[in-house]
Homo-oligomer: A and B are copies of this chain.
Amino acid sequence: MKLETRKDEIINTAAKLFKEKGYSAVTMRDLATAMGMKAASLYNHINSKQDILKAIIISIAEEFTSGMSIIIDSEVSNINKLKKIVTLHVNITSHNTNGMASLNNDWMHLEDQLDYYLQLRNEYETNFLKIIKEGVLSSEVKNSNPEIIMFSMLTTLRSLYLWIPKKEDLSANDLANSLSQVLIDGINN
């Protein structure tokens, strides 16, 4: 665990600002002010505004990809795979709430890396859907529209970044458990 470099500080500060106003509304001068320096000085550490966005989004997207890959290979029931997905989202989001905002809202500004990002996202959703469909086949999962199930779960999980910072009292574990219960068992008594 290396110390946080100046470049990392800039990227983390940028992620925070991007979360508040969105990528396009944050200027390099905004970022510089937040860092306590002048805009031109940022370029001693980063190549471009684009590159900051890329650094924020791609690393998280790859975390999800490798996390999903481990879940796919794990030998547990499909319901338990879904629970693992919930935990994956809670964990990744917990240690990078700001970055998750950019991933959700600013991916379309990626330019060079857009295709790569879309590919990762597509693969992720395909794997997610496959688990649900297999769960339906094995009667673990109710026979509802699998795409609606995925949509419902995934949108909730993708919005965790909005919610986790407001509920810091809740441990990641507790949240993952409660959320799994609500998402999987429903709320009807």
Contacts and interface: CB of A to CB of B under 8 A. Distances in A.
Nearest to A144: B182
Interface string A161-186: 01100010000000100110111111
A28 interface: no
A156 B186 CA distance: 14
A20 interface: yes
A184 B144 CA distance: 13
A24 B188 CA distance: 41
A184 B182 contact: no
A25 interface: yes
A16 to B, nearest CB: 14
A1 interface: no
A152 to B, nearest CB: 5
A142 interface: yes
Nearest to A145: B178
B25 A141 contact: no
Interface string A94-124: 0000000000011011000000000000000
6 A-B pairs with least C-beta separation: A186-B186, A155-B159, A24-B24, A24-B25, A185-B186, A152-B156
Interface of A: 20-25, 79, 105-106, 108-109, 132, 135, 139-145, 147-149, 151-152, 155-156, 158-159, 162-163, 167, 175, 178-179, 181-189
13 contacts: A20-B108, A21-B24, A22-B22, A139-B189, A141-B188, A143-B189, A144-B181, A144-B187, A151-B163, A152-B179, A184-B188, A186-B186, A186-B187
